[in-house]
Structure 1
Amino acid sequence: MIREILYEETGRKKLAEGMRKLCSILNCDGGILLNGSYIMSASSVARQIEGEDLYINQGIRLASEGITEINARIGCGTKEAAAMLLIQLTACEQMAAAGINPVYLAQEIKKAAGRMADKAEKTAIRDSIHLEEELLKIAGEEELVEMVLQAMEAGEVVIKDSMQVKTRMDIIKGMTVGGRLLAGMPATLKRAHVLVTNRSISSFSDLLPLLEKLGSCPLFLVADEIEGEALTLLKTNIANRRIAVWAVKAPGIGKRKADMLADLAVLTGTKVYGEYDLLARGELSPEMLGLAESIEVRAGYSVVEGRTSEISAGRIAGIRKVIEDPKTNFYDQQVLRERIAWLSGQVPVIYAGGETTVEVKAKKLRLEYAVAYAQSVKKYGMMPEGFADSISVKTAGEKIVLEGIRKSLDNKVVSAELFVFLLRKITSITALWLTTGAVMVSTGYDREDRELMRGGVDVERLRAGDGY
C-alpha cells in the first residue's frame, strides 16, 4: 500500500484533533440522533463524522475504540469517558507545550491512575442508595427502573423483544428451548424423559429400541435434525398413539447450539449423545436419559423445568468466570447471563415493548445497559460520595488525573467497576497519544496490491495484521 507518515508533534496534533472532534459530540447533553433514531454507540458516531483527513480519522478511531470498550464492558459510561478524555487531552497538551517531556508525562499519569484505581477498589461501598438515580438516567423511565430492580431480586435477568406496546416482566420456571416442534402436539408433560443429541436422525430404527423400552412413558427429544423416514414414522406412530414422543429441532447454530444442548443435558441430568454414542447402537436405556419435572411444549418453543444439582452449580460457576473475563464483551455477557438464568431454574424475563421496531430495539438496549450497570453495582459496589475530595495530589500527573475525575464525574456516585475501568482505560489512551512517535495512514494501492486484488485477495484484510 502507498502510505504517508506524520512525525511526533505534527502527528499528535492531528490525532488530538480527531479525538476532540468525537469526544465533543459524545459529551453533549441529551441523546444523539442518528439516521432517525437515538444511539448510545461511540463507534456509530465515529463512522458518521470521519472525513477526508486520514490523520484526523485515526484520532477519531483511537478514541472510539476505547470508549466503545468501556460501554461494552459496563453497559454505560460513554459521556463520562468522552469528558474525561477531553480534559486529560487538554491538560497534557498544555503541559507538553510548557516543555514537559511527553514520555515522562505519560508514565506519570499512568502511575497516578493506577494508585487512584487501587484506592477506589478498597473504598467502594455496598450501599446502593444512589443506584435508582443512576438507573433512571440509563433507562429513562421510573417504571423500567422498578422492573429492573424487581427482576434482579428474582434472579439472573433476561431481556427480550416484545410484539406488544407495553413493556412487561414475567417469572419463568425452567429453561426455554427455542426450537420448533417437529413431531407431537403442544402439551404439558409431567415427569418426562429427555433425550438430547447433537446428531441428525433420519432412520427410525435408531430410535425404535429406546421407544420399546420406554413404552407409554413420555419422551422429549431434542436433536440437531429429524428428517426422512424417522420423522414420517414418528408422526404416524404419534398420531396412532403407539408412542408418546415430542420431538424438537435444536435451535441456534455452531457454539450457541452446542452450549444450549449441553445446558439442557446438565439441567435434566443426562449427557449430549453424539454420532457414535449408544443411540446409534441401540444400547440406550431409560436410566441414561434425563428427567424433567414438567415441560410446556409449544409450537415454536418449550419450557423445561429440570432439577438444579451440583453439576449445574459448577457449570454456572464456570460461566460466571467467562463473564468476568475482561475480553468478554457486553453482548456476549448478556448471552452468558441468559444461560445462567436457565440453569438456575427461575428466570425473570423483561419483554421490551414499543409501538415500532426501532422503539423496541432502543428500549431493549436501555434495559440491557441498566441491568448490566445494576449487576456491576451489586458485585463491586459504588464509589462513596466525595471520593475525589479525599485524594491528595503532588505530581503533575496526579493533578491531571484528578481533574479528569472531578470534571467528568461531577461528584456523581457511580459504580466502582465503571470508575476503575474508566480511569485505567482513558488514561491509557492519553498515554498512548503522548508517546506516539509517528502516525501512518494508507492513501492508496500500489501495483502489488492491485495485482493481488485482481486475483481476488482482500488486500485490506491482508494488510490489517502486518503491523502498520
Structure 2
Amino acid sequence: MIRKIKFEDGRKKMAEGILSLCRVLSCEGQVMVNGAYSFAASEVAGKLEGTDLFFNQGIRLAAAAIGEINQAAGCGTGESARLAAQLLAYCERKSASGISPVLLARELKAAATAVEEFVGEKAIPLPDINPDLIEGITKDQRTAQMIVEGSEAGELVVKESMSGETRLEIIKGMRLDGGLTVGAEGTVGDALVLIVKTPIISFSGIYPLLQKIGQQNLFILADGIEGEALTLLSANVKQNRIHVRAMKAPGIGRRKEDLFEDAAVYTDTMVFDGIYPCQMEEISPAMLGRVKAVTAAGSYTIMKGNADNSRINRRIDGIKERIGDPKTNYYDKQMLRGRIAGLMGCAPVIYAGGYTTVQAKEEKRRIESAVAYYQTVKKFGVLKKDDLINYQAGSEAEKYLTESMKKCFQNEEISAYLMILTIQKICGMIVMWLTTGAVMVSTGYDREDLELIKSGVDVERLRS
C-alpha cells in the first residue's frame, strides 16, 4: 500500500509539471524570459521549475517533446501545448475511473498510429505555396514573399543583418566569406583554381606551377598565404607579371575541411596538402579546377562554376542524408543547407534585420521557423481541416484525439508533417508519463517487473 501511495503522488506531481508548462505555452504571443521575448519551450521551462523533483521532471518531459516539434516543423508550440493539456486531462480522468495506466497507454498508442496513417494518406502536395500560409509566422507579408522567392531559387539560408531592414539576396555561384589576401577586388573570367588545405609559406614551392600556367588567371584557396609567398605573390601581381588572386579559407576545424572538399567538388579538382596527391612543385595545370568567373567584393568572394556534374550531385545527396538524420541539430542543418546552396551554384540568403541585437535575433528566429514550416509543407503537403472533421474514429481514445486536434489546429490547411510530428511527440510523452514515468517515481520494482511493463503487462493487476 505504501508503494502505491508513492506511485500515485509522484505521477500526479509530474502531471502538474506538464500542465504548468502547457498553460504558459498555450497563451497567444511570446513569453518574456530574462528581459527578452521567447517562445522556446526550454527557456520557458527553466523559469517554471521549482524544488519538487517530480514536478520538474514533468516540465522537462513536456519541454523536450514540444521543443522537438518546434525545432523540426518551425512552429506548433501553442498547438502541441494545447493538445498535450487536453490529452493529459483525458488520461487523468480515465485513470481516476480505475483504468490501468498501461492499458490506457496501449489504447493511446493505437489511436495515434491510426490517425498518423490517416493524415499521411489524406495529405495533398502543394506545388505553388501561397505566402499567406506562412504569413502567420513571419507577421509580415513582405518577409513571407521573400521566403517563397528564396526557397524557389535554391536552399535558403537565414543570417543576421547589420542593417535595420530584412532583405533577400540571391547569389549565383559558391560564396566564400572573407576578402582577398592577394590581388585586387573585381571580377576575372575563366580562372584556374588551386585548393590547398595547408598554409602556403614558400614561394619556391608554388613557382613551378606559376611558370606552367603563364598568363592564365589563377585563384588560390588555402589555409593561409604567409611569409615569403605572400610578399612575392603580392609584388608580382602588382607588377602584372602574374594574374593571381588568393584568399584564406573561412571557418575552423571540421567546417573548414568541409569547405575545402565542397570547393574541390564544385570546381572539379582535388584538395592538395603539399604531400598528397603530389608535392606542390609537381602540380600541373591539368590537375587544377576551373571556374567561369571569380568575383571579389570586399567581405566575400564568389566562384561561378559549372554546377551540373555527377560529383556535385553525389555530394549533395550525402549532405541531404545528414540533414534527414534525427541526430542532426537545427543549427547544423542550417549549415548543411548553406553548403548545398553553394554546391548548387545558387545561394539565396535572407538577412534578418533589426535596430537592436535583440530585434535582429528575434527576427532571425521567426524567419527560420517560417522557412522550416515552408520546407515541410513543400515536402509533405498539407491536410485540409475538413478531412480531419470527417474522420471516422474507431476507439474512444481515437475519437478524443481527433476532437482535440480539431480544437488545437485553427487553420483550414495544416502541414501534414506538423500534424504527424505533433501526434508522435505528444502522444509519446503522455505514454511515457503513464508507463515509464510511473516507474521512475515509484519504488519496489525489480528488473523482471520493468521488463514486463515495457512489454505492456499490467504488473499491479498481477500482484493483486
Shared fold, TM over 0.5: yes
How far apart, CA to CA, are the structure 2 residues paired with 1:275 and 1:386?
A: 65
| 1:67 Cα deviation after fit | 0.9
Q: Does the 8 Å CA contact 1:74/1:417 hold for their aligned counterparts?
A: yes
Distance 1:254 1:440, change over 3 A: farther
Q: What are the superposed Cα offsets for residues 83-133 of structure 1, whole Å, 9 maximum, x if unpaired?
A: 111111111011000111101111111111111111211110124788534
Partner residue of 1:363?
A: 363
CA separation in 1, counterparts of 2:92 and 2:265? Answer: 57
Does residue 292 (structure 1) correspond to residue 295 (structure 2)? The answer is no
State the SS of the aligned residue for 2:241: coil
Match of 1:335 in 2: 335
Q: How far is 1:318 from its partner? A: 2.1
Contact 1:92/1:400, CA 8 A, preserved across alignment: no
Contact 1:71 1:78 in 2 (8 A): yes
CA separation of 1:52 and 1:193: change in aligned 2, threshold 3 A: same
Q: Tell me, what secondary structure is at the counterpart of 2:42?
A: helix
Q: How far apart in 1 are the matches of 2:227 and 2:361?
A: 39
Shift of 1:247: 1.4
Q: Is residue 321 of structure 1 aligned with residue 321 of structure 2?
A: yes
How many Å separate the matches in 1 of 2:277 and 2:428?
A: 55
Aligned to 1:382: 382
Whether the aligned pair in 1 keeps the contact of 2:381 and 2:415 (CA below 8 Å) is yes
Q: Is the 8 A contact 2:105 2:434 kept in 1?
A: yes
How much has 1:275 moved relative to structure 2? Answer: 4.5
Alpha-carbon distance in structure 2 between the residues aligned to 1:120 and 1:373: 17
Q: Which moved more, 1:181-190 or 1:373-382?
A: 181-190
Structure 2 residue matching 1:181: 3-state secondary structure: coil
Q: How many Å apart are 1:188 and its aligned residue?
A: 1.0
Shift in Å, 1:237: 2.5
Q: 1:344-373 CA distances to partner (integer Å, 9 max, x unpaired)?
A: 112222222221121111111111111111
TM-fit CA distance, 1:440: 5.8
Structure 2 residue ranges without an equivalent (≥5): 443-464
Match of 2:147, as an amino acid? V
Residues 390 and 64 (structure 1), Cα distance of their counterparts in 2 relative to 1, 3 Å cut: same
CA distance in 2 between partners of 1:144 and 1:240 (Å)? 48
Greater shift, 212-221 or 426-435, is seen at: 212-221
Matches within 5 A, 1:121-200: 121-127=120-126, 132-200=131-199
Counterpart of 2:414?
414
Contact in 1 for aligned 2:11/2:441 (Cα 8 Å) = no
Structure 1 runs, 4 residues or longer, greater than 4 Å off: 128-131
Summarize the Cα distance change of 1:279–1:353 in structure 2 as closer, same or farther, 3 Å threshold: farther
Between the two proteins, the alignment pairs up a number of residues equal to 437
CA RMSD of aligned residues (A): 2.1
User: What residue in structure 2 maps to residue 217 of structure 1?
Assistant: 216
Letter of the 2:157 partner, please give it: V
The 10-residue stretch of structure 1 (231-240 or 308-317) with the greater mean CA deviation from structure 2: 231-240
Q: Normalising to structure 1: TM-score of the pair?
A: 0.89
Letter in structure 2 aligned against 1:439: M
- After superposition, what is the alpha-carbon deviation per residue over 1:213-272, rounded to whole angstroms, capped at 9, x for unaligned? 111211111111222222222223223333222111111112211221111111111111
CA deviation profile, 1:13-60 (whole Å, cap 9, x unmatched): 111111111111000012222233221211111112212222211111
Conserved? CA contact 2:132–2:141, under 8 Å: no
> 1:362-392: per-residue Cα shift (whole Å, max 9, x none)?
1111111111111111111001222222322
Q: CA deviation at 1:411?
A: 5.6
> Is the partner of 1:386 in helix, strand or coil?
helix
- Matching residue of 1:100: 99
1:237 & 1:306 partners in 2: Cα distance? Answer: 26
Amino acid at match of 2:409: L
Q: Secondary structure at the match of 1:209?
A: helix
Q: Is the 8 A contact 1:73 1:329 kept in 2?
A: no
Whole-Å separation in 2 of the counterparts to 1:9 and 1:332: 41
Quote how far apart the aligned CAs of 1:430 are: 0.4
Cα distance in structure 2, aligned partners of 1:399 and 1:128: 32
**Percent pairwise identity:** 43
Alignment correspondent of 1:455: none
Structure 1 residue 144: Cα displacement: 0.8
**Maintained 8 Å contact 1:128/1:377:** no
Q: Which residue of structure 2 aligns with residue 246 of structure 1? A: 245
Given that residues 206 and 280 in structure 2 are in contact (C-alpha distance below 8 angstroms), is that contact kept between their aligned partners in structure 1? no
Q: Is the 8 A contact 1:72 1:331 kept in 2?
A: no
After the TM superposition, which of the residue ranges 124-133 and 66-75 deviates more from structure 2? 124-133
- What is the CA distance between 1:278 and its match in structure 2? 4.2
Residue correspondence of structure 1 range 343-354 to structure 2 within 5 A: 343-354=343-354
C-alpha contact (below 8 Å) 2:126/2:377 kept by paired residues? no
